[in-house]
Structure 1
Amino acid sequence: MRRRRFVAGAIGALSGIGLGPAPVRADEATPRAQGWQAVPAPGSTPAAQLRRIAAAGSQLAWAVGEEGRAGSSQGRGLAMLWNGGAWTRTDLSHLDHTRLSDVAGVCSTAAWSVGRPAGSGSPLLRWDGTTWRETTFPGRGEPDVRLDAVAVGHDGRVWICGSRGGAARLLHWDGQRWQWLDPLPVASANLYRVVLRSPGEVWVSGDQSNGGGWSGLVARWDGAWTVLPPIAGLRLGIADLHSAGPDDVWAVGTEAGVGGPPGRPGNPALSHWDGTAWTRVEAGFTVGSLSGIAGDAQGRAAWIAGWNYQDQSRSTYLRRHGDTWTVVRGPAGTAPAPYLNDVTWIPGTAGFWSAGMTSPAPAPPTEAYTERIEA
């Protein structure tokens, strides 16, 4: 069963969060709170959202998601391009996808996206410098194949996490051919994110069944699978992770808790792996979600995108200061605040992008949304 939802964090109930090695301190008055600025992402048809964002530099970025969703009806894929001065829509009329789930790119000729089809199978898209084109891969069109997330290295190699034959797997492009790698040795696993730390070291995150619900899942591929111990929680899914090394991994997500009416918000989950065990870290707020994490130019975890249900006056981030995470707020605007799905570093700069939607509700008039910080 797929446990991903249109708004990943807007479910669940409260549960306890333990102290960790890098506690969060609230710092609402910090001048950095003014650093994040809304950047118009015009032209999306409500309800719309950007699920993931990737940058090749200050002059080139991609963002993907979905638009035109109304209630239970499926929408259609949405893609935007940053040219250094503005976001513009990319024409997807030649494609038939209900949404695009992830995007990764390092230059104008090395960008990839995955999504959900209107029919069977799962599509793989490649950027040709002008638009997105569907490309072939082993298993294309098979009804049990799902491509969930994608990462690309500067060497042009591509890593995709998904599933085939009922098992979670990696699909790898070495520059000449695609190959499905060995199944992840975890039963009933869902993968939501793939992160490339080095050409031979790939990390994935998601969740795994624990009998009565699901626990957080993080694993590493370096020619063989190493599955870290499950991150304990009450229906906990890990939306994103950042690895600075085998003994320094940060994982973010949402704990849905037990029971509660549909739409009840969960609680944010922040965990650190020190090479021996996971430690839960306070997120600085107790109701909401953490959806994305990005490293800086030195490879250290730097920013986390989140959603604070209890204070929706502005968008919410966590920023790392040494060994401490600090709550930082986005630009002032209309309430409720935007819901952020992702954050990413802008290579060659000290800046970052974030992306999501203009409100937490996946219904009209919600539209696609981005923010940027220059330093």
Structure 2
Amino acid sequence: MACATVRPAPPASTATPSPSASPKLDVLTDRLGPPMTNLTGACPSPGRTVDQLNPATLPRSTWRLASAGTEEGELDQATVTPDGALWALRGRGPTQRPVRWTGSSWQDLPAFPAGKDPLVRLGAAAADRAWVIVQSGSPDDSPANYVVSTWDGRAWQSRPVDLGVPPVSGEELAAQGAWVLLGDRAMRWSGTAWQTAPLHSYSDKLSGSTEDPWVIASPDPDEEVKTQLSRWTDQGWQAVPLPDGMTLPPGTEAIHPDKPSTRIAGVARTGPEEFWVVGTYSWGEHEPVDQEDVTIARSVLMRNVAGRWSCWWGPVGDRPDPFVDAVADGRGGLWAATELGLLWHLSDGRWTRERAPVDKGVPVIRDLAGSPGGTLYALGGIGSGPWDEDIRPALWRLEP
């Protein structure tokens, strides 16, 4: 995914602190990495009726429904560890619980102390090493307090940790692999301590892997987020500017023509100097008949090869099926998933797509997970209809 070859940070240790160890906060780095420069390529939006994606639809899916639960909820926040273990959160809202995939079923772990209406994020380093970050206390507390519950293969060990950061909204707490995001700070578990590094922007999503992480900040209509995408280098988090010239389609009459936004869903490295970014480009318009304000969007796929951007745009609509994530397929291509269960595959320069199979109902995908050369998973749920609130957990696995 890089525009220049960099040496990634070494994998975090899988050791778990002993119950008597005092939480310690170390500095991984106190500076930001040098900005990525010399990027080229402009990506103007084509006409409203142009669909540059238009993949071939396969009649039969290469993915298999590996698990479909009966209880209410969904699967999300997936992590595949270096040893191939799959962890996820199952449930919804304050009832989310960490689970681990055994290869044929989900293993429930003993409950961890969570408090009332907790905000939960999951990270993991191995099949028997995982941690759950729970924000505790009043949102007005300063600094914010967090409880880190660590799974050692037998039981949870929980302790409060004062990370010294001011309270942030729940959407700005994220975890994946050995990394955790807290506002404008990223942290990595080293095996003995949490190590910190500053971020360019308040960020709310991690993509990639422990060894090759990417940080994503959502666009904020009230604030100008200058850095939406950063990658980790041995010198700190490096800002990766998005392509220049991302414009409204010709002839578009937007409510605020100067405020379109790009929401990044995922990043996938497909070569030493190549990475893809999947997302949605949106803006406001007046509905033609009633002149009501509506949000219009189109999907966009951005490719960067050795610093040069190129883009492919999807159709324009007011009920889009947005991309939610992307992962490399391990063979120079990538998979990208949409919310309503479509799995897109780029292989040998050709795009195809297929729908995630279900026993009955409509597939909903929240997350993709996998490792290069390893098993790939899609996680989410099955509903009775599009955007249905009644949903049950589901896991799909790509057939070898």
TM-score normalized by the length of structure 2: 0.66
User: Structure 1 residue 39 and structure 2 residue 59: aligned?
Assistant: no
For residues 78-135 of structure 1, the C-alpha deviation after alignment (integer angstroms, 9 at most, x for no partner) is 3322122212433436323646665443422333344555754455443322455545
User: Structure 1 residue 372 and structure 2 residue 397: aligned?
Assistant: yes
Offset at residue 369 of structure 1 (A): 1.9
Classify 1:145/1:331 alpha carbon distance in 2 versus 1 (closer, same or farther; 3 Å). Answer: closer
- Aligned mates of 1:94, 1:288 — CA distance in 2: 37
Q: What is the alpha-carbon root mean square deviation over aligned residues?
A: 3.9
Offset at residue 355 of structure 1 (A): 0.7
Aligned to 1:228: 240
1:205 partner letter: I
Alignment of 1:263-282 (within 5 A): 266-282=297-313
Alignment of 1:6-45 (within 5 A): 16=45, 24-31=53-60, 33=61, 35-42=62-69, 44=71
Aligned to 1:72: none
User: Structure 1 residue 207 and structure 2 residue 233: aligned?
Assistant: no
Classify 1:38/1:327 alpha carbon distance in 2 versus 1 (closer, same or farther; 3 Å). Answer: same
Offset at residue 63 of structure 1 (A): 1.4
Alignment of 1:190-339 (within 5 A): 190-196=203-209, 198=211, 202-209=213-220, 217-222=228-233, 223-230=235-242, 232=246, 234-244=260-270, 247-258=273-284, 266-282=297-313, 287-297=320-330, 300-308=332-340, 315-335=341-361, 337-339=362-364
Aligned to 2:17: none
Offset at residue 196 of structure 1 (A): 3.6
- Aligned mates of 1:254, 1:333 — CA distance in 2: 29
- Aligned mates of 1:269, 1:117 — CA distance in 2: 37
Offset at residue 140 of structure 1 (A): 6.9
Tell whether the 8 Å contact from 1:216 to 1:236 is kept in structure 2 after alignment.
no
Give secondary structure in 2 for the equivalent of 1:367: strand
TM-score normalized by the length of structure 1: 0.70
Tell whether the 8 Å contact from 1:91 to 1:131 is kept in structure 2 after alignment.
yes
Aligned to 1:342: 367
Offset at residue 346 of structure 1 (A): 6.0
Give secondary structure in 1 for the equivalent of 2:307: coil
Classify 1:224/1:140 alpha carbon distance in 2 versus 1 (closer, same or farther; 3 Å). Answer: closer
User: Structure 1 residue 177 and structure 2 residue 193: aligned?
Assistant: yes
- Aligned mates of 1:327, 1:43 — CA distance in 2: 28
Aligned to 2:255: none
Give secondary structure in 2 for the equivalent of 1:62: strand
Tell whether the 8 Å contact from 1:284 to 1:327 is kept in structure 2 after alignment.
no
Aligned to 1:162: 182
Aligned to 2:106: 87
Tell whether the 8 Å contact from 2:100 to 2:108 is kept in structure 1 after alignment.
yes
Classify 1:348/1:322 alpha carbon distance in 2 versus 1 (closer, same or farther; 3 Å). Answer: closer
**Contiguous gaps of at least 5 residues in structure 1:** 1-14, 70-74, 153-157, 309-314
2:104 partner letter: G
Tell whether the 8 Å contact from 1:55 to 1:62 is kept in structure 2 after alignment.
yes
Tell whether the 8 Å contact from 1:305 to 1:340 is kept in structure 2 after alignment.
yes
Give secondary structure in 2 for the equivalent of 1:175: coil
Aligned to 1:78: 97
- Aligned mates of 1:226, 1:129 — CA distance in 2: 35
User: Structure 1 residue 107 and structure 2 residue 126: aligned?
Assistant: yes
Task: Return 49-58 or 319-328, whichever deviates more.
Answer: 49-58
Aligned length: 324
Classify 1:281/1:373 alpha carbon distance in 2 versus 1 (closer, same or farther; 3 Å). Answer: same
Give secondary structure in 1 for the equivalent of 2:216: strand
- Aligned mates of 1:202, 1:93 — CA distance in 2: 27
Tell whether the 8 Å contact from 1:139 to 1:145 is kept in structure 2 after alignment.
no
Structure 1 stretches of at least 4 aligned residues deviating more than 6 Å after TM superposition:
210-216, 260-265
- Aligned mates of 1:30, 1:354 — CA distance in 2: 19
Aligned to 1:155: none
- Aligned mates of 1:142, 1:216 — CA distance in 2: 21
- Aligned mates of 2:262, 2:195 — CA distance in 1: 30
For residues 227-262 of structure 1, the C-alpha deviation after alignment (integer angstroms, 9 at most, x for no partner) is 111354732221221234673121123334326889
- Aligned mates of 2:355, 2:316 — CA distance in 1: 12
**Contiguous gaps of at least 5 residues in structure 2:** 1-43, 248-259, 287-291
For residues 303-351 of structure 1, the C-alpha deviation after alignment (integer angstroms, 9 at most, x for no partner) is 111135xxxxxx211112112332122215434x2220111126774x3
Classify 1:137/1:118 alpha carbon distance in 2 versus 1 (closer, same or farther; 3 Å). Answer: closer
Classify 1:135/1:243 alpha carbon distance in 2 versus 1 (closer, same or farther; 3 Å). Answer: farther
Tell whether the 8 Å contact from 1:49 to 1:65 is kept in structure 2 after alignment.
yes
